Amino acid sequence: MDTARVADLDEDALVALVAARLPAGRSTFLGPGDDAAVVVAGDGRFVVTTDVLVEDQHFRREWSSGADVGARAAMQNLADVAAMGASPTALVVALTVPPDLPVAFVTGLAEGLAAVCAPLGVGVVGGDLSAGPSVQVAVTAHGDLAGRAPVRRSGARPGDTVAHAGVAGWSAAGLALLVAGRRDDELVGAYLCPRAPLAAGPAAARAGASAMLDVSDGLVRDAQRIASASGVQIAFDSVAQAFADDLARLAGAAAVVGAQADDWVLGGGEDHGLLATFPGALAHGFRPVGHVVAGQGVTVAGQQPTVSGWDHFG
């Protein structure tokens, strides 16, 4: 089995291997096995988001195991659910695999999804499996708002505190280390399999956060999205002040690869931290990193930032 390829199995057998590894979930009314699943939505509404991981675009198989890819696919989608202030309930997964892919990669991927979802009571309730030119994992995640209003990008107001939960720059640093041939660093793990501060999302909503999003494309670029949607300026404190912990953690890696840790903090994507604005006290898990002021755009220590994130097609 260890050397088996996808093309060695028929579709039903491969689906069965995946299905056996997927968690049922606390909100699952009807799980896999029919044309569709049924998920409980006690709120009378559900939150939904979809994100895809594409081989050689978002990950490389020489670096990421199936379990890494599965965990990351789950985490980046659950982070989007959390960013609305919701608690995750269920995932579905559309997986495309090349015929020569080791079966162990596919079963590992299911185990990676389960490793993230099962402890949260999140079910993987359905999926689709197709052949294709490379590995692609399209996850759709759902969540429950428990009666609260969704936290949007458009609610930030001058005077709010800008706050951040999670880490900043770790994923970008981990990728840089991998490119440089280094694997023996916790930062590499943060790239392969980021850990989003999922509980901080509903906590922020309960604390009255006025705006929030998941930091997937870099702190400056994503802050710009809140600024644009809210018609305000996001004024970060100096990186040295606001992100001192991250800078300290990244300094060694920056020296190894000859990079600036500031650039990773401000421009690195895919850490899946949460950036939020609070009119009052911050929720547990958030640290203050700046203020909302009248105006537009993003400033860092009063200056225009020089890092602007990245573009998938650029």
Distance CA 224, CA 213 (A): 11
Residues 17, 120, 129, 256: which binds a copy of itself (CB under 8 A)?
A: 129
Least distance (Å) from a copy of itself to the CB of residue 275? 11
Contacts with a copy of itself, 47-86, as mask; x by CB under 8 A = xxxxxx-x-xxx--------------------xxx-xx-x
Residues 18, 67, 75, 90: which binds a copy of itself (CB under 8 A)?
A: 90
Contacts with a copy of itself, 249-288, as mask; x by CB under 8 A = ----------------------------------------
Closer residue to a copy of itself (CB): 130 or 306? 130
Q: Which of residues 131-190 bind a copy of itself (CB under 8 A)?
A: 131-134, 136, 138, 140-143, 145, 150, 152-153
Least distance (Å) from a copy of itself to the CB of residue 302? 26
Distance CA 178, CA 165 (A): 25
Q: Residue 123: name the closest of 109, 132, 113 by CA.
A: 113
Q: Which stretch binds a copy of itself (CB under 8 A): 44-52, 59-67, 114-122, 240-248?
A: 44-52
CA triple 30-36-39, angle to 5 deg: 40
Closer residue to a copy of itself (CB): 132 or 252? 132
Least distance (Å) from a copy of itself to the CB of residue 214? 5
- 3-class SS at 313? coil
Within 13 Å of residue 151, how many CA atoms lie on the same side as its CB? 32
Q: Which stretch binds a copy of itself (CB under 8 A): 30-38, 64-72, 180-188, 236-244?
A: 30-38
Closer residue to a copy of itself (CB): 145 or 192? 145
Distance CA 292, CA 231 (A): 10
- 3-class SS at 88? strand
First to last CA, the chain: 40
CA triple 244-74-173, angle to 5 deg: 30
Q: Which of residues 183-222 bind a copy of itself (CB under 8 A)?
A: 212-214
Entry field: residues in the chain: 314
Q: Can you tell me which residue has the tokens 């052949």?
A: 131
Contact 253, 176 (CB under 8 A): yes
Total residues binding a copy of itself (CB under 8 A): 72
Residues 69, 71, 74, 92: which binds a copy of itself (CB under 8 A)?
A: 92
Residues 18, 23, 46, 249: which binds a copy of itself (CB under 8 A)?
A: 46
Least distance (Å) from a copy of itself to the CB of residue 298? 16
Residues with Cβ within 8 Å of residue 10, at least 6 apart in sequence: none
Q: Phi then psi for 200, rounded to 5 degrees? A: -70, -20
Closer residue to a copy of itself (CB): 82 or 265? 82
